[in-house]
Structure 1
Amino acid sequence: MITSEERRPEQRRERQQAAHRHRLFALGLVGTGVAVVAAFVFRAGSEDTASIGPAQAPLRPTGTTMSGAPAPPHPAGNVRIAAVGDIVMGSLPDALPPDDGASFFDPVDDLLAGDVVLGNLEGTLTTGGSSKCDDNDSPNCFAFHTPPSYGRWIKRAGFTVMNVANNHIDDFGAEGRRQTFAALRSANLPFTGRLGQIVIQRVNGIRVALIGFAPDRGANDLTDIPAARRLTARAASMADLVIVTMHAGAEGSDRTHVEPGTEYFLGENRGDSYRFGRAVIDAGADLVVGSGPHVMRGMEFYKGRLIAYSLGNFSGYKVLGIGGMLSTSGVLHVSLRADGTYVSGHLYPTRIVPPGTPEPGGEAIDLVSSVSEEDFGSHAAHISADGTIQQP
């Protein structure tokens, strides 16, 4: 005999499966030959965003359909993308901004405008879990968490998707991750960067895939370049545009240059961002956006695609070092055609002011222009005094 208590999990699974089938029909994925394990649809105005997990779309050559026939032409129009680096809104219990974070992004929210607005969530949205630093006496251990309710301020600021492929998403363990992802979903804010995850955002009929990579457990591993190429190629087979984020490189105010080969920080492999960025473009990426070193780095064009190696810290309320290079930041705007062709770009300088909030201004244009020329020579992005980004 099955009791009502025993039937509840089964009934719950049936409801979840029915809801899942409904979501797949809404995405148009059922009956298309796409093997989907899990998908979530986020509706924001006229845009839909799907998050597709590992092995959910068979790899096929870009430019063909699942049946092998030529793919239809790309939709007309451009996609406007805005991207920033690391976002830290503070940390519990006593390093939180005034008015519970409601006005945190107000000085810069007019810069956070685009069809796709992307940032790196450097920390967690949780009040639970155990800090990774509880049993770690190292002065270099940092764990960040703000209330889950802060997800709504990130959404309200204009962000459409957050990268969680970084070394701080695990600051409060499995429970911290669970609450963070739940908070982002509650705010109707998709996230990317978990192992095998591809997020697709639709912009006026144009499918934009976003993938996050980092050298950290649970993320798409940027140190495994063959796997990164395969996942990027899969995304390119599913979408018109592919945006890749990388959380890579050694940290510190003296790390503005992209070093050749693998970079290390405190003994950790932080990836070969130069090799990685070019590899994913070879596999089908149309834009690569970096963060991780906590300072801005240069930009280059490779095969007509822009790689921004690090956008630095966008905010760091009372928990990140500020001053000089550490306070220099910016908002990257890029416009791409549906086939990935670069249309235009602009770097809007911002800076972090005490105790760690963002505002317009600063030296980002001079810094990025200089290190781009030094690091990439003939491939360097040309950045004019007003922030306009042109191909070499």
Structure 2
Amino acid sequence: MGDVVMGTLPDDLPPDDGASFFEPVADLLTGDVVLGNLEGTLTTDGTSKCDGDSPNCFAFHAPPSYGRWYKKAGFTVMNLANNHIDDFGAEGRRETMDALRAVDLPFTGRLGQITVQRVRGVRVAVIGFAPDQGSSDLKDIPAARRLVSRAAKRADIVVVMMHAGAEGSDHTHVEPGTEYFLGEDRGDSYRFSHAVIDAGADLVVGSGPHVMRGMEFYKGRLIAYSLGNFAGYKVFGLGGLLSTSGLLDVTLRADGTYESGRLHPTRIVRPGTPEPGGDGIDLVAGLSEEDFGTQAARISSDGVIQRP
């Protein structure tokens, strides 16, 4: 799934200290590899990157103890390659990683990091990329290709997560070329995705725009350009496309080839918790056809994803 934020200190935290946060979607959070983008930090340390009352600066930090709720919910790896992992500087980043290690929940996304899980004898590598300092940089496509190639030599299956693209309800389409947001280079998600598949990636999953985007197949491998926001307690704008989300369920064979897939629609309900339902299937099906034509993923009304 895409971006996940369980709230932010000091006042915007869920009731019961987060214990029931994922209960409405518990049946969906199952799989050999359950991957989400941790959009923020788990820290009480560090200094916020936001200076003063700038309306365009957001810094998220939930208690380190919340790591246990991600583990309990079923996540097996968290992506830290995004523009919020450094919201509270090096101290906040370090405490976030310590919080995940404390509950034995692997993470990926730091510069050059390849995280490998063994699933019933199959080695699965997960790599996170973002256009942000400290992350494996998706803007440096030659370096991304080299990192993915190394991962393909270490593992049977390579999954890439990218945090890329401009943000907001007017950015549902995959634009050709580099995308910018508030003057920042947010990468060329189309060129990046094709390049990492050329280098050995078997599945590419996107987040970052805060809205869902289309899906295509390239060389038989699925690219989901953005799964939107999965949860964001009192931290995200809500309503319409901003509340429309989904969980992608993909089965890959041991050699990485695509076997089957399904998009489970979800939505964010106020004040920012996830629940099943919504219009994600229709939205992504339409965007896929509009943006990718003959290469678009074919998505049925019940969310089943087929190659073109």
TM range (shorter): over 0.9
Structure 1 unmatched ranges of 5 or more:
1-83
Cα deviation for residue 109 of structure 1 reads: 1.1
| Residue 210 (structure 1) aligned to one of 96, 112, 126 | 126
| Residue 263 (structure 1) aligned to one of 173, 179, 192 | 179
Distance in 1 separating the partners of 2:78 and 2:7: 17
1:127 aligns with 2:48: no
What's the secondary structure of 1:365's corresponding residue? helix
Q: Which amino acid aligns with 2:138?
A: L
Distance in 2 separating the partners of 1:92 and 1:234: 39
Q: Cα deviation per residue 1:342-365 (whole Å; 9 max; x = unaligned)?
A: 100000000000000000000000
What's the secondary structure of 1:289's corresponding residue? strand
What's the secondary structure of 1:119's corresponding residue? strand
1:118 aligns with 2:35: yes
| Residue 211 (structure 2) aligned to one of 291, 295, 305 | 295
Distance in 1 separating the partners of 2:148 and 2:271: 38
1:250 aligns with 2:159: no
Partner of 1:320: 236
| Residue 101 (structure 1) aligned to one of 12, 15, 18 | 18
1:373 aligns with 2:289: yes
What's the secondary structure of 1:174's corresponding residue? helix
Q: Cα deviation per residue 1:54-81 (whole Å; 9 max; x = unaligned)?
A: xxxxxxxxxxxxxxxxxxxxxxxxxxxx
What's the secondary structure of 1:109's corresponding residue? helix
What's the secondary structure of 2:116's corresponding residue? strand
Which one has the largest radius of gyration? 1
1:391 aligns with 2:290: no
Distance in 1 separating the partners of 2:26 and 2:200: 31
Q: Cα deviation per residue 1:209-258 (whole Å; 9 max; x = unaligned)?
A: 00000000000000000000000000001000000000000000111100
1:89 aligns with 2:6: yes
Q: Which amino acid aligns with 2:20?
A: S
Across the aligned residues of Structure 1 and Structure 2, the Cα RMSD in angstroms comes to: 0.6
What's the secondary structure of 2:229's corresponding residue? coil
Q: How many residues align?
A: 308
What's the secondary structure of 2:251's corresponding residue? strand
Distance in 1 separating the partners of 2:46 and 2:76: 27
Alignment of 1:1-392 (within 5 A): 84-133=1-50, 135-392=51-308
Distance in 2 separating the partners of 1:187 and 1:143: 24
Q: Cα deviation per residue 1:25-64 (whole Å; 9 max; x = unaligned)?
A: xxxxxxxxxxxxxxxxxxxxxxxxxxxxxxxxxxxxxxxx
Distance in 1 separating the partners of 2:124 and 2:292: 28
Partner of 1:38: none
Q: Cα deviation per residue 1:295-343 (whole Å; 9 max; x = unaligned)?
A: 0000000000000000000001011101000000001000000111110
Distance in 2 separating the partners of 1:245 and 1:317: 23
Q: Which amino acid aligns with 1:119?
A: G
Partner of 1:27: none
Cα deviation for residue 138 of structure 1 reads: 2.6
Structure 2 unmatched ranges of 5 or more:
none
Distance in 1 separating the partners of 2:94 and 2:189: 29
Cα deviation for residue 137 of structure 1 reads: 4.4
Q: Which amino acid aligns with 2:35?
A: L
Distance in 1 separating the partners of 2:53 and 2:199: 42
Q: Which amino acid aligns with 1:95?
A: D
Q: What is the aligned-residue identity percentage?
A: 80
Distance in 2 separating the partners of 1:155 and 1:254: 34
Q: Cα deviation per residue 1:159-196 (whole Å; 9 max; x = unaligned)?
A: 00000000000000011011100000011100000001
Q: Which runs of 4+ in 1 moved over 4 A?
A: none
Give TM-score, length-normalised by structure 1: 0.78
What's the secondary structure of 1:154's corresponding residue? helix
Q: Which amino acid aligns with 1:111?
A: L
Q: Cα deviation per residue 1:100-123 (whole Å; 9 max; x = unaligned)?
A: 000000000110110000000000
Distance 1:197 1:286, change over 3 A: same
Cα deviation for residue 136 of structure 1 reads: 4.9
Cα deviation for residue 130 of structure 1 reads: 0.4
Distance in 2 separating the partners of 1:137 and 1:300: 40
